[in-house]
């Protein structure tokens, strides 16, 4: 259609872009266990984080609680927001976040799955602590079972290009319906409006799609959908179970080989200590094993998917 009719006519939007985005939104909502009206399409996990932190009316009287195992994609928006708007950021150990929620805590912003160790946050305890919760799901959605109702969070930001195997430039944001009115659209534009013919009236769309960061390119929606097709054909529950089982197997074998494995949960990440993590990760990549070191941490980290086979694990252990 683009070749024959170009991209300026209504057909391109109404028959390609909008239906593809709608279908993708519905499928992501199915993975999260929520309604499609509760999902915004973004470009990354950090886009979703920024949408929440920029959209909330946070100011000098507010405190945001975070953990000591967060990714810069969460911490940088927090730091800049604190500098510009005057709210306080307080850090607590990842395993003790719920107990650290205090009377001044306006928001808890932390990972669903720690990118450092692979531990899962105690979401039930966080939800019961009384403060709204923003979860960074970069290592969650597509890697572990993600049930929004069970997590009890108010906001969940996730990636499309990681464990869902979609293209770079795709991400998703869940917003609890009762919280939508608390968020100003962080990147307002044409698609923010219910009545674009009267933009100065600022008649916002009623659902979470008003937080979309523009309209996804058709190619991105198609790629993301094709990746979901592959995962679903294999059985999504089976994919998740196989991944965490193989990660657990690697953790056990690393420990048996004398490595100190970081405390972890039932996730797809396995981190272990090395004297020089950066040099070790480079050496392993040269040996055909793609791992990463974590800046400022003593760990090398492996990401284990359902597509990881026994030969991959053996290659890693031999190279070590």
| Model pLDDT for residues 226-246, shown as the tens digit of each residue | 999 999 999 999 999 999 999
CA dist list (Å): 37 to 41, 81, 270, 273: 11, 28, 35, 43
Average pLDDT in the 159-164 region?
A: 97
- Whether 166 shows a pLDDT value over 90: the answer reads yes
Per-domain residue ranges of the chain = 2-233, 235-319
- Tell me what pLDDT residue 121 has: 98
Compute the mean pLDDT over every residue in the chain, rounded to the nearest whole number. Answer: 94
CA dist 111 and 117 (Å) reads 11
Q: In which band, very low, low, confident or very high, does the pLDDT at 12 lie, cut at 50, 70 and 90?
A: low
Average pLDDT in the 293-305 region?
A: 96
pLDDT in tens, 196-223: 889 998 899 999 999 999 888 889 999 9
Fold of 2-233: 3.40.640
pLDDT in tens, 68-100: 999 999 999 999 999 999 999 999 999 999 999
**Residue 69's beta-bridge partner residues?**
none
Residue 218's Cα: distance from chain center in Å?
A: 22
- The dotted CATH code for 235-319 is 3.90.1150.10
Average pLDDT in the 281-287 region?
A: 95
CA dist 124 and 244 (Å) reads 21
- Tell me what pLDDT residue 237 has: 95
């Amino acid at each position: 259609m683009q070749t024959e009719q170009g991209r300026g006519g209504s057909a391109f939007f109404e028959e390609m872009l909008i239906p593809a985005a709608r279908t993708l939104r519905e499928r992501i909502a199915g993975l999260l266990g929520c309604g499609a009206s509760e999902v915004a399409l973004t470009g990354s996990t950090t886009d979703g984080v920024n949408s929440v932190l920029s959209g909330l009316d946070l100011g000098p009287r507010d405190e945001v609680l975070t953990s000591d195992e967060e990714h810069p994609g969460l911490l940088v928006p927090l730091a800049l927001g604190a500098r510009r708007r005057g709210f306080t950021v307080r850090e607590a150990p990842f395993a003790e976040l719920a107990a650290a929620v205090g009377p001044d805590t306006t928001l808890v912003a932390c990972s669903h799955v720690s990118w450092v160790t692979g531990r899962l946050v105690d979401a039930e305890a966080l939800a019961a602590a009384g403060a709204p919760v923003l979860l960074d799901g970069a290592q969650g959605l597509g890697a572990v079972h993600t049930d929004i109702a069970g997590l009890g969070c108010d906001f969940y930001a996730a990636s499309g290009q990681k464990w869902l195997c979609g293209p770079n430039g795709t991400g998703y944001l869940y917003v609890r319906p009762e919280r939508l009115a608390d968020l100003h659209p962080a990147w307002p534009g044409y698609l923010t409006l219910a009545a674009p013919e009267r933009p100065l009236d600022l008649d916002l769309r009623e659902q979470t799609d008003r937080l979309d960061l523009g309209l996804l390119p058709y190619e991105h929606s198609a790629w993301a959908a094709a990746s979901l097709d592959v995962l679903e054909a294999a059985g999504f529950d089976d994919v998740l179970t196989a991944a965490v089982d193989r990660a657990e197997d690697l953790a056990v074998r690393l420990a048996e080989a004398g490595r100190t494995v970081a405390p972890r949960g039932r996730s797809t990440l396995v981190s272990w200590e090395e004297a020089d993590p950066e040099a070790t990760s480079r050496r392993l990549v040269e040996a055909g094993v793609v791992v990463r070191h974590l800046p400022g941490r003593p760990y090398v980290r492996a990401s284990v998917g359902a597509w990881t086979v026994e030969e991959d694990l053996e290659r890693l252990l031999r190279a070590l």
